[in-house]
């Protein structure tokens, strides 16, 4: 039988897709490279043509997911919405895209022994979105919607608040507990960016 050769991009995505399904259905620790290659019917050597390890596949999976959100945020930042509307839409988009059915993306890591990996993912994701947040705050300042005096320090504060809230999502809080925390988050961030004559309404 002739050997089937696929486009490298197609094959790479195939490996990532198979790994993602196994990570969620079986567990990250329980999934081996052998499991991944068996799922798509290729030799183990094929896997190593694209990835050095299972961890490398995870990093690619995270990057792919973050990149999708990045494109959406780019569209929001360039839209004709007001700065306040952009801020609210950006927040909603980030957390809406963290949903995965009844749970959250990459929760197979959080409920295991990989909290440091989860923390790294949250931190890297937050850093990627900082430029959009900064541009929106600067726009809000120019247009008189915000009055943030120390933008870089404000961004650090917002990032810390959102990281704490992200952890709350993965801790299986009830809907009511999350709503209460979201009210607090909205007030803290609204105060930090100095929103004028408006109450920030952050939704997930």
Over its length of 204 residues, how does the chain's per-residue pLDDT go in tens digits? 445 667 889 999 999 999 999 998 998 889 999 999 999 999 999 999 999 999 999 989 988 888 888 899 999 999 999 999 999 999 889 888 877 666 677 778 776 567 677 777 777 777 778 889 999 999 999 999 999 989 999 999 998 888 888 878 777 778 888 889 888 998 999 999 998 777 778 777
d(CA 49, CA 29): 22
CATH number for the domain including 37? 1.10.10.60
Residue 140 lies in a domain: yes
Residue 202 lies in a domain: no
Residue in the structure block whose two tokens are 């801790």: 171
pTM, to two decimals: 0.80
The CB density around residue 73, as the number of other CB atoms within 10 Å, is: 21
How many domains does the structure of the chain reveal?
2
Are 120 and 176 members of one domain? yes
Element housing 99 (H / E): strand 99-100
Are 140 and 107 members of one domain? yes
Element housing 100 (H / E): strand 99-100
d(CA 28, CA 49): 21
Are 82 and 36 members of one domain? no
Are 155 and 103 members of one domain? yes
d(CA 34, CA 58): 15
């Amino acid at each position: 039988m002739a050997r089937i050769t696929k486009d490298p991009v197609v094959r790479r995505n195939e490996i990532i897709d198979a790994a993602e399904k196994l990570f969620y259905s079986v567990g990250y620790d329980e999934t081996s490279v052998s499991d991944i290659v068996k799922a798509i019917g290729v030799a183990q050597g094929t896997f190593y043509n694209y990835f050095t390890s299972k961890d490398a596949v995870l990093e690619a999976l995270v990057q792919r997911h973050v990149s999708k959100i990045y494109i959406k945020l780019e569209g929001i930042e360039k839209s004709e919405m007001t700065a306040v509307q952009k801020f609210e839409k950006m927040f909603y988009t980030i957390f809406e895209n963290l949903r995965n059915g009844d749970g959250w993306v990459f929760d197979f890591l959080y409920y295991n022994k990989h909290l440091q990996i989860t923390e790294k993912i949250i931190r890297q994701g937050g850093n990627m979105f900082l430029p959009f947040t900064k541009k929106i705050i600067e726009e809000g300042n120019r247009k008189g919607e915000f009055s943030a005096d120390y933008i870089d320090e404000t961004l650090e504060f917002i990032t810390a608040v959102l990281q704490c809230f992200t952890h709350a999502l993965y801790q299986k809080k009830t809907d009511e507990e999350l709503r209460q925390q979201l009210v607090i988050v909205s007030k803290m961030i609204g105060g930090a960016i100095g929103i004028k004559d408006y109450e920030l309404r952050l939704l997930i």
